[in-house]
Amino acid sequence: MMFIFLAQMDNEVRGVSALERKKSVKGYASKVFKESSVTAVSAIVSTGNVRRKIFRVVVFLLFTAGFLYQCIKFLSYILTYPTVVNIEVARPDKYLAPAYTFCNYNMIKRSKFCSKHSDLCEYPDEEFCEMYPRYCGENNTQVPKIEALKDESILMESFLEFGHDWKHMLLYASPNIKQGRPNGPLARINIEEQGVTNCYSMNDRVDNDRDATYKTKQLFNFETDDILEFDPEENELFYPDSKPGIMFAVHSPFEAVNPFEQGIFMKPGNLYRISVQMEEEELLPYPYKTNCLNYTEMWLTANKTGPRSQEMCRHKCLRDVSEDCFNCTVPVTLYPRRKEFCYLGYKSPHCSGGDDPGVLFELCIEKCRDDCQRTIRVKMYYDDSEIIKIRYKPQFQEVEAFSYIGGFIGIWLGVSLVQVVDVCESIFLITRYFFKKGTSVCSKESKDVSEDEAV
């Protein structure tokens, strides 16, 4: 009976100790929060009316939930790395010089073709001369037979072999742009005539180890910057119904273009005044949405080899896949070829890895992201006085994110940074008091148990 009585007393003591500890921690917490500089918390603790206290607690919890919701939404938006676009007008002392690409609209030079394939040419008759007088008279030469004009196998081989040479097309070029011979011949597809023709570029830097050319701005410049003079060689038309002229394009030196798609048609006997306005676009790399790639750095790292723009990267993918899978180059690629041209419709793919050509091409172009450094978009008006820059910048800096969250705290909770520190200190003091109180109670209980056992 004595042991049962002692056990009951021990349980009662422990229950009273736990209750006292709970009341003690609650009282200490009330004391700490009353002294807090956060008015919302101290007002809740000091309120004696139960209904008012419940109302203030509910309001405080709702505003805290609103604050947390807005903070989470804001941080989620920041983690998407949004950007803003800044447009500025710069007036630099020097600017990047554009490249020029030109082609003869006539794909095959008639005299070249007939000098090699005399059996496929003939002298024009009277009816032909009446319809096309340019072929007759003093310059009475052979013209292709109708059979030759319809034979696609002969024409495919003739496009590049018998195309116009730049020496006969380009009569004059300003010394500042004609640095050596033009780059070419470059195969470009004539969309209207459905064939391939020779084109030539000046000042281009596609798959080239040379640095770009820059023009120096002149304060008083009353002369034309670049002058070009072309001869379309009207008497060398291969197709009698074709129109004589030159296809001409102004573009970025880091990209190759097809003048039949992005150029202008220049008729013989006319003077063309072309002006160009330059536009630079600066993007941001990963993790921002623009996810660009600095092709200039890659070009320098690769010992000045490889593409220098996103467009050329894609065309290089097309060239590499066609040469790997078909052992030839498709005419639509603008990147410099290494093998003969062919039409893929007549060939079966044999890729080195055994994959489908379409899959290989998709995997390759995924690596061709936007250029971080610059792209040049050419309008047909040229003004060296100013350059429009479109620059992408992070929408939020680290310090701005901190300021926004501080604003949310002030709006929802009416709390300053000092008060936030005060709340953290209060929570720390209460937690420490709780554990210290619990430890002291446990020690006291252990001591009582030891005394009971001794008895």
Question: What pLDDT does residue 73 have?
Answer: 80
- 196, 187 contact by CB (below 8 A): yes
Question: What pLDDT does residue 12 have?
Answer: 46
Separation CA 164–CA 172 (nearest Å)? 16
Q: Which two tokens stand for residue 139?
A: 């310059």
For 446, the enclosing helix (H) or strand (E) is helix 417-454
Contacts 24+ apart (CB under 8 A), 69-74: 70/408, 70/412, 71/405, 71/408, 74/401, 74/404, 74/405, 74/408
Residue 254's φ and ψ, nearest 5 degrees, are -95, 0
Q: How many helices (H) and strands (E) does the chain have?
A: 14, 14
For 159, the enclosing helix (H) or strand (E) is helix 152-161
- 107, 196 contact by CB (below 8 A): yes
- 105, 245 contact by CB (below 8 A): yes
Burial 274-309 (b: 16+ CB within 10 A, else e): bebbbebbbbbeeebebebbebbeebeeeeeeebbb
Sign of the torsion angle spanned by Cα atoms 229, 233, 238, 244: positive
From 80, 67, 76, 82, select the one nearest 396 (Cα to Cα): 82
Question: What pLDDT does residue 289 have?
Answer: 64
Per-residue pLDDT of the chain (455 residues; tens, 9 = 90+): 443 443 444 444 444 444 445 556 556 656 555 555 555 566 666 666 677 777 767 777 777 777 778 778 877 777 777 766 666 666 667 777 888 999 999 888 888 888 888 888 888 888 878 887 777 765 567 777 776 666 665 556 566 778 888 888 888 888 777 667 888 788 888 888 777 888 999 888 887 777 777 777 665 554 557 788 888 888 888 877 788 899 999 888 888 889 998 888 988 888 888 877 777 776 666 666 666 777 777 778 888 888 877 888 888 888 888 888 888 888 778 887 777 777 666 677 778 776 788 888 888 888 887 776 544 333 333 444 555 555 556 655 554 555 666 666 665 556 555 556 556 666 777 677 677 766 655 555 555 545 454 44
Question: What pLDDT does residue 248 have?
Answer: 93
From 99, 98, 108, select the one nearest 201 (Cα to Cα): 99
Taking the chain, what is the end-to-end CA distance rounded to the nearest angstrom?
A: 15
From 246, 361, 241, select the one nearest 313 (Cα to Cα): 361
Residue 2's φ and ψ, nearest 5 degrees, are -60, -40
The DSSP secondary structure of 27-69, one letter per residue, reads: HHHHHHHHT-S-HHHHHHHH---HHHHHHHHHHHHHHHHHHHH
In a 10 Å sphere around its CB, with 0-12 CB exposed, 13-18 middle and 19+ buried, how is residue 230 labelled? buried
Q: Which two tokens stand for residue 393?
A: 């910048």
Burial 192-206 (b: 16+ CB within 10 A, else e): ebebbbbbbbbbbbb
Question: What pLDDT does residue 101 have?
Answer: 92
- 280, 390 contact by CB (below 8 A): yes
Residue 13's φ and ψ, nearest 5 degrees, are -65, -45
Torsion of CA 428, 434, 436, 438, to 10 degrees: -160
Helix ranges (H only) for 281-397 are 295-301, 310-326, 357-365
Query: If DSSP codes are grouped into helix, strand and coil, which group holds residue 257?
Result: coil
Give residues with Cβ within 8 angstroms of 14, minimum separation 6. 445
Separation CA 328–CA 317 (nearest Å)? 13
In a 10 Å sphere around its CB, with 0-12 CB exposed, 13-18 middle and 19+ buried, how is residue 168 labelled? middle
